Structure 1
Amino acid sequence: FDVVIWMTDGWPLYESRLKGKLHVISKRYTQRIERHNLNLRQHLARLGRKSLSFSKSVELHDKVIGHY
């Protein structure tokens, strides 16, 4: 991957592993990334299992999946 900026929380190991790279330490950014990952997992779950996350119509399904 061509990572430009590394955004992590304050775990000390990250500092030692990312020396010399653009590294931003902030929980604010990691929370955004994790929230996006959660939304992606929830929306893609509708492709695998009908009992938890399902679309009642093809139109709704296309809107949610088309978002990504």
Structure 2
Amino acid sequence: LYESRLKGKLHVISKRYTQRIERHNLNLRQHLARLGRKSLSFSKSVELHDKAIGHYLNIKHYQ
């Protein structure tokens, strides 16, 4: 099904690419753990949540 809709270079199937995506997802979960209520890094301050998320996005996506 996918092969008929995507050209060869657009549809990448490889273990390396899958590992990269999974690593990104793991990093996202770890860095934003403070959003989970039951985690040890949870903060009650909305200001600290905003700063942590802003810092993560700045470091990981804009540099």
Instruction: Report TM bin, short chain.
Output: 0.3 to 0.5
CA distance in 2, matches of 1:27, 1:43: 24
| Structure 2: runs of 5 or more not aligned | 55-60
Q: Which residue in the other structure is 1:55 paired with?
A: 43
Give the CA deviation at 1:22. Answer: 2.2
Contact persistence 1:43–1:53 (CA under 8 A): no
Highest RCO, 1 vs 2 (Cα 8 Å, sep ≥ 6): 1
Using the TM superposition, give the Cα deviation of residue 53 of structure 1 relative to its aligned residue in structure 2, in angstroms. 3.2
Aligned residues: 56
8 Å Cα contact 1:55-1:61 kept in structure 2: yes
Tell me the distance in 2 between the aligned counterparts of 1:41 and 1:51.
Answer: 11
Identity of aligned residues (%): 98
Paired with 2:34 and 2:20, the residues of 1 have a C-alpha distance of: 22
Cα separation, partners in 2 of 1:24 and 1:59, compared to 1, 3 Å = same
For normalisation by structure 2, the TM-score amounts to 0.46
Greater strand share, structure number: 1
CA offset digits 1:9-59 (Å, max 9, x no partner):
xxxx97688677821121111101111011111222212236433579999
Alpha-carbon distance in structure 2 between the residues aligned to 1:56 and 1:32: 32
Question: TM-score, structure 1 length as denominator?
Answer: 0.44
